[in-house]
Structure 1
Amino acid sequence: MSTPRDLAHAEQRQRILAVARDHLIRDGAAQLSLRKVIKEVGMVSSAIYRYFPNRDALLTALIVEGYQNLARDLGEVRAPEPEVRFRELASRLIAWGRAHPQEFALIYGSPVSGYAAPADTIEPAARVVAPFLDAVAAGELAGELAARSVEADALAAQAAELVAASGVTLTPGAAVGAVEAFTLLVGAFTLQLGGHFVGTFDPFEPLVDRLVATAAQLAGWAS
């Protein structure tokens, strides 16, 4: 059972994160300053280190929170048909990025100078990919996907590790297809976020429809 002190600590930690998130949205991850966050929260500098020992720890907490928020949003997609679910997940991923551009940039964009994400971020990141793998696994089980082989031994071994870690039943070819599809979606939106489609595919929505369809094809659906 949590003590009042534990609850107070958790509440203050969330307050610090909320202020840090506001700074992230306003200034971007590279400009995130622990000193500025401390000042706005109204804490003495020594006190904040009980919650976050340095800027990297604060960045890690924001990254984990970003993955959790995105995974929670994707978890609302529950279409029973595997291909429909996959397409809805793809659209939802991009829609979340458009609604939360700085958070998307933090978890998938350019790395922050001097920061290396620790192992703590691996499990939250996997929770984002999991629903895509589940949809592909359901499609493969239903016989909807085109059969794909993985000829490169190294790639097949990596696919097998992914399947083992995810706990889903997938052939290596289907696993690789799912990763290719996810990579396409994240990469395309990252380009859009960086302004690389301004003056060309702007507005972005018509291209999103094509990207979602292409992602489904990469994952193995023929339609």
Structure 2
Amino acid sequence: MAPLAAAEVGGDSVRRFSGQVDDSRYRPSCSARAADGFIRGGLVGLAWGAAFHPLDELAVTGWTTPSAAYKAAQTAEEAAANVAEAGVSPNKPRVLKDVSAKPTPQQGAQATSTASKLRGAAAQGPLAPAFEFWQTKAFPRLRSMGQASLMFGCFLGTFGGMTCVAESFTEVRHHYLNVFVGGATAGGLLAVRQGTPRVVMLTALGTGTLTAALHSFVRL
């Protein structure tokens, strides 16, 4: 009777220690798992955006460098200012006296005000180098870090939350099916930006398979 009394006094902890079956179900905190994944992904995204800036001089194909874009904008502004002063279209010779080629006063004012909107008051005088650095280097870098942080945070947050939801159904913490559900949901969520259901389905299937394979490999 002494062991039975000790088990009754000790409660669940003594039952688990004595090897008896515990009736409590596995109920993970999915909101905490999702928040933890979002925070971790956000930190990874900040590092990724700082190290792999897509608008750097060594940019991937299809992206323009900030210096080239800035120079192109300056060239377009200068051409627009010349058009406003000359009163003719840049695609037609100056000798043509076409009335439709002459811009309206509103168009001329809009063309000449573009430069002031782009550079601003800080671009004049000694603050011009600092403004150009912010316009071509600092701001694109910070924007890239923010976008990468949001993307990684949403991916890992969705992955952690949906994996936790799957665990609540399977009642098993470490299982490849849970990881597949989390990876497929996170990959499909990011692929929604492409707009085609086929791309979303293939991305979800590929991401789920990849995460399940990595999980099984790590668990070996």
Taking structure 2 as the reference length, the TM-score comes to: 0.30
Higher normalized contact order (CA 8 Å, seq sep 6+, divided by chain length): 2
Structure with greater helix share of residues: 2
The higher radius of gyration belongs to: 2
* TM-score where L is the length of structure 1: 0.29
